[in-house]
Chains A and B, each alone.
Chain A
Amino acid sequence: MAEDPREPAGGEAHGEPAAESGPGPADTPAEHAGLAGESGERLGSQPELLGEMKALRRRARVARHAYWFPLVLFGVLTCASVPFYIQPAFRQVPAGSGIFVRASSATGPWLPFLGGSPGLVQSYLAYYWIVALLGGLVLTQLWYWWHARRIGLQTPARGYLLITTVLTVLAVVIPPLSQVRSPHWLRFMHRLQVLWPGDLVIRGTFPFLIIAVGLLALAWAERSRALTVTAVVYTGAALLASLYDVSNITYRLGWNPPPSGQSLPSVLLPALVLLVAGAGAFAVQRLHRTTA
């Protein structure tokens, strides 16, 4: 924004803010109240002033936008989770009995929110998502910190980080806490079962919904319509992946994954949404910065 030539002499020209050194443009109510003559001319500058503020806001917003990174990061982390969604092989139990069950070597704490149903996914899926979600948040925080230092504007991403962290922690602690039966005074914990998300946890895709909520919070922080649309589309994809076998759709489209990989379309669909949106956001944000 250029210096305002209408500011009074002896103000900005001498390095003093105008309001301290004398009346600025249209300072008195009388000037504003009159709508003709000189005051009318001054009022004519108000739309220009509003337009300038709008342009400043837009420019700052465009410079501040940096959400391509978390989109690509969580897209890549989702793709990297694919081996954990390969269904365990069948084995005879006991040997030679003719009864086949999926091998499941689930050990350690019970983490159905992040790890899905035993037998449908690999047993270490929950551990992967704990590390991926919290590690992804740390990397996102570092990214926004670095971006703020580089361009001089900091995105208020704290809400996004807080919401995603709290949801991840709740996803870890609610299942074991809701099973507590003793001591007696802790039995009220079983009421936490009302927080169970039902069928959403069966396929091990509940982490996608945590990411989705986080993206909606990030869209609010970034004040970006494009990210809001992306977050809504991603939420839809995550819900579909959690409640429906997406391989039924890909089968009609000509891709029929092997039986052990039937979860792959449900994992790759949300990942694809993130990667495509992230690549698009990267291109647009880079273009804006080049032309700015």
Chain B
Amino acid sequence: MNAAAGLPPEQASGGHPTNGIDDTVHQRHRLGILTITAEARRADFSYLREALGLTPGNLSRHLTVLEAAGLVQVEKGYAGRRPRTWVRITGQGRAALAAELAALTELVRRHREAQGSQRPRIADGDVHGRRR
């Protein structure tokens, strides 16, 4: 995990927002897990599986990675006789999610700026773009 997680991308990287990107978080489904769990006090395993379109095995592995990084806590319990697993985001997880989203937003902004600067320029004095 990136040690600079939680800092704004510019500060964390000392320049480029990519350095603010966390390898653990920068994965589509793990980012989805953090996004959903940040929206609730805790999220049920079944809800995450359905919302992210994952198999139980895949979701378990992603949760293991996030739990090992201290970004989520997994709580196992029972609803009646049925076992139920709840996932809760940690403070560290919230900070990592915020840093990741900030880095992505900054990247997109820079990318759009770069794309804008690469557009063909109209020659001076020719408002219709015709070559002289």
A interface residues with partner B (beta carbon < 8 Å): 1-4, 7, 12, 15-20, 24-25, 27, 29, 32-33, 35-36, 40, 43-44, 46-47, 49-50, 52-53, 56-57, 59-61, 63-64, 148-149, 151-158, 223
Contact = CB atoms under 8 A, between A and B. Distances in A.
Contacts of B108: 43, 46-47, 50
B40 A53 contact: no
Given A17-B58, A153-B39, 11 more contacts: A18-B28, A19-B27, A24-B26, A29-B16, A43-B111, A56-B52, A57-B35, A57-B39, A61-B39, A154-B41, A154-B43
Interface of B: 16-19, 21, 23-24, 26-32, 35-36, 38-44, 46-48, 51-55, 57-58, 61-62, 65, 79, 86, 101, 104-105, 107-108, 110-111, 114-115, 118
B21 A32 contact: yes
B40 A60 contact: yes
B16 to A, nearest CB: 6
A44 B118 CA distance: 15
17 contacts: A12-B58, A15-B61, A20-B65, A25-B28, A29-B18, A29-B19, A35-B115, A40-B114, A46-B108, A47-B108, A50-B108, A52-B32, A53-B31, A60-B39, A60-B51, A148-B41, A152-B48
Nearest to B63: A17
Contacts of A27: 23, 26
A183 to B, nearest CB: 45
A153 B30 contact: no
Contact of B62 (A17, A43, A158): A17
Nearest to B13: A29
B2 to A, nearest CB: 11
A56 B118 CA distance: 33
Contacts, number: 133
Contacts of B58: 12, 15, 17
Contact of A2 (B39, B53, B79, B101): B53
A3 B46 CA distance: 16
A63 B59 CA distance: 20
Given A27-B26, A56-B51, A19 B65 contact: yes
Given A1-B52, A50-B105, A15 B111 contact: no
Contacts of B23: 19, 24, 27
Contacts of A7: 28
B104 A153 contact: no
A29 B24 CA distance: 15
Nearest to B60: A15
Nearest to B111: A43
B128 to A, nearest CB: 29
B18 A3 contact: no
A50 B58 CA distance: 22
Contacts of B55: 15
A18 B27 contact: yes
B76 to A, nearest CB: 15
Contacts of A16: 61
Nearest to B45: A152
A44 B111 contact: yes
Contacts of A40: 111, 114-115
Nearest to A3: B53
Closest 3 interchain pairs by CB?
A: A152-B47, A152-B44, A32-B18
